[in-house]
Every structure is written in structure tokens, then in C-alpha cells.
Amino acid sequence: DTEVTQTPKHLVMGMTNKKSLKCEQHMGHRAMYWYKQKAKKPPELMFVYSYEKLSINESVPSRFSPECPNSSLLNLHLHALQPEDSALYLCASSLDLGLVIADTQYFGPGTRLTVL
């Protein structure tokens, strides 16, 4: 089973709202990732968690706040977003990070976010 699930599939929020995106995997992967993808563009890395600790933050604005409650779950908390933050938010996971370079990331279907 190479499934990464994400909820919700679609989200519309105002600029003053607080919402959260959720990602889950049950493959025993210890690295989890958030990417942002604009239409017709490649995914851009936002955050990397390794063994439930934040290991990479690609200079993402503080209105995006990641959280990794356990090895299977990854959340992205959203607050005071801007319309330009509208995008597809992708979660991915992989077996390991750092110890084994030969690793494959598996992507979830994404959450399509619209900020009004």
C-alpha cells in the first residue's frame, strides 16, 4: 500500500479564517513533506519533517504552520492567508531521510485551496 491521504480535497477560506490541512500515511515512512503547487508549475518544497521533527523550512511565511503529531500524521495550519496562497497543497512521504539516500517520495492527491 503506497497511499498518502489528504483532507479536505477542496478548501475555500477567507483571509481572516483559520483552517488546517491534514495528511496521513500508514507505510511506516519517517519523512513527510509539504509542497505547494501552482497551476502548470512544478511542486515547490515548503517543509520537511524527519522523525517527527521539522528538518527543513524553505523560508515559508509564518501564516503557514506545520505540525507532525506522530509519525503517520502531518498537519498544515493556515491563518491569515493571502489570495496568492491559493494553490494545490501536496503532502508526500518517504521511507527515510539522511540515512538512506535511495528513497522514493509518494504523493497524496492534494488539497485545492482557494483564498478569497
Partner 1 sequence: AQSVSQHNHHVILSEAASLELGCNYSYGGTVNLFWYVQYPGQHLQLLLKYFSGDPLVKGIKGFEAEFIKSKFSFNLRKPSVQWSDTAEYFCAVTSSNSNSGYALNFGKGTSLLVTP
Judged by the rule CB under 8 A, the positions of this chain that interact with partner 1 are 31, 33, 40-43, 45, 48, 55-56, 58, 90, 92, 94, 97-98, 101-110
In the complex, the smallest distance separating the C-beta of residue 18 from partner 1, rounded to whole angstroms, is: 26
C-alpha cell at 107: 504523493
In the complex, the smallest distance separating the C-beta of residue 4 from partner 1, rounded to whole angstroms, is: 9
Q: φ and ψ at 5, to 5 degrees?
A: -110, 145
Q: Is 89 exposed, middle or buried (0-12, 13-18, 19+ CB in 10 A)?
A: buried
Asked if 47 and 57 touch (Cβ cutoff 8 Å), the reply is yes
Residue with Cβ nearer partner 1 (66 or 110): 110
Instruction: Please work out, in degrees rounded to the nearest 5, the angle formed at the alpha carbon of residue 74 by the alpha carbons of 71 and 15.
Output: 165
Q: φ and ψ at 85, to 5 degrees?
A: -80, -5
In the complex, the smallest distance separating the C-beta of residue 11 from partner 1, rounded to whole angstroms, is: 16
Residue with Cβ nearer partner 1 (71 or 105): 105
Residue with Cβ nearer partner 1 (25 or 94): 94
Residue with Cβ nearer partner 1 (43 or 66): 43
